[in-house]
Amino acid sequence: MISDNVFSIIKKSIRNKKNVLLIFILSLLILLLNLNITFIINFYNFFDYSVEQNIGFKSISTYNPNKNLSDSIEEVKSIENVLEVYNARNHTFSVSSDLNYNGLNGRLSFLYGTENIVPKSIIGENFENIRSGETICPYLFYPDSSVWDLNIDESKAIAAEDLLGYEFNVKYNSYTFNGSNMIKDHEITKQFKIVGFYDSTQVMNLNNECYITAQDMEELQYTFNPYIQEDETVIPTIRVVVDKIENLNNVLERLVEMGYVDPEITATFDLEMVNKVTVIAIAFMIIIISSTLLIFINYIIKKIKSDLKYIGILRACGYTKSNVIFNNIMENAIIVFISFIISMLLFIPLFYIFKVTLLKFISYIGYKVIFNLKYILYVYLFLLFICISINGLIIKKYANYSISKLIKEDN
């Protein structure tokens, strides 16, 4: 139950138009702070979490003109920190499937899988237990070609629980090579069974990318493109997956030493840009916090000075110095609290817009925008603590004035 004192403080706070203005300004500043914190959290999460997990950022493609494919794979596997080596051609294979319900067109991609590079399943079998004809798909399975350029409509995604053990057919064309041209032979249908689901957001995969065994991938690739397989003049490129991003350069150097040509990291991010954005975001946060504190301190000093006579009356009525200090701090804490609540109410729709806008750019890598209330609360509580501490120091000075000085104070 709210005491008369707190109730009186709340009434005084909300009836004062200057307080309302301060609440408005603080709400906007805290809102900006919330957006800034959310951006920083997501930005860091994006790089520190997802990029670390996605093998594209830890893979090198290269070839050795003096070695055949199997020798290259065996040789490179022996390099320290190398997790997996395989024919780069086998990395992915796009097919049509009969998973075309919920209005989806059934397009999906198979990825080359080994137990070293496929993440642990969250439902069903892990990759080490799967056999030919089996596959592990994303938890939010979205077999549609639009997965690249649209926000994933989670309501359309096929629920993993319904699909575990489900068998579906994929279709692709078989080609033959007549020595000079590729000739379309016939359409092949192959059946796959979904035996497990992984979290695509953890590895920044598309939500229509399923892992299959190396054997199945080889079969698909061969029937689809026998030309490359049969032409001995084609030097196969290998894909080298390294265990950690920080070991990439060491492996890269070793590959060059071993005679591998044009080694390239398959996906990179601009570290300089990342650092710049981080510095700007943190600077922005410092500016917002500093502005909030400056506005708040300036306001409470002016307000206390204009309230000195009333403080004198309170003291004359029997309020102790502690009562006066408590009341003043409570009044300002209420202002900061109301500002926080308003900022959160404004933040929720803005966060949704922010999420949708951001997803337009990054949905193809299956990243989920995170709203982390915990960090927002930490920063808010820090702000509240600073505000209350400074408020306490200021009001303490004036509360120590004698009553007659307070009452006679000419402001």
Q: Which residues bind another protein (CB under 8 A)?
A: 3-5, 8, 11-12, 15-16, 309-310, 312-323, 402-404, 407
* CB 411, CB 398: distance < 8 Å: no
Which residue's CB is nearer to another protein, number 1 or number 273?
1
First-to-last C-alpha distance (Å) of the chain: 37
Which neighbouring-strand residues pair with 95? 108
Q: How far is the CB of 341 from another protein (least distance, A)?
A: 21
Q: How far is the CB of 382 from another protein (least distance, A)?
A: 30
Which residue's CB is nearer to another protein, number 290 or number 402?
402
Which residue's CB is nearer to another protein, number 8 or number 116?
8
Helices (H), 231-270: 248-257
Q: How far is the CB of 302 from another protein (least distance, A)?
A: 15
Which residue's CB is nearer to another protein, number 292 or number 328?
328
Which neighbouring-strand residues pair with 112? 212
Which residue's CB is nearer to another protein, number 310 or number 378?
310
Which residue's CB is nearer to another protein, number 156 or number 309?
309
Helices (H), 307-372: 308-317, 321-362
Which neighbouring-strand residues pair with 167? 193
CA 18, chain centre distance (Å): 40
Q: How far is the CB of 318 from another protein (least distance, A)?
A: 2
> How many Cβ atoms sit within 10 Å of the Cβ of residue 283?
10
**CA-based nearest residue to 343, from 15, 16, 8, 24:** 24
Q: How far is the CB of 308 from another protein (least distance, A)?
A: 10
Which residue's CB is nearer to another protein, number 19 or number 202?
19
Q: How far is the CB of 321 from another protein (least distance, A)?
A: 5
> How many Cβ atoms sit within 10 Å of the Cβ of residue 276?
11
Q: How far is the CB of 407 from another protein (least distance, A)?
A: 6
In single-letter form, the type of residue at position 379 comes to V
Which residue's CB is nearer to another protein, number 98 or number 409?
409
Which residue's CB is nearer to another protein, number 320 or number 389?
320
> Rounded to 10 degrees, what is the CA torsion of 341, 347, 352, 358?
-150
Give every CB contact of residue 312 below 8 A, 6+ residues apart in sequence: 401, 403, 404, 405, 406, 407, 409
Q: How far is the CB of 23 from another protein (least distance, A)?
A: 14
**CA-based nearest residue to 311, from 298, 322, 297, 299:** 322
Q: In degrees rounded to 5, what are phi and psi of residue 131? A: -120, 180
SS3 content of the chain, % helix, strand, coil (to 5): 55, 20, 25
Q: How far is the CB of 291 from another protein (least distance, A)?
A: 27
DSSP 8-state class, residue 150: S
81 in helix, strand or coil?
Answer: coil
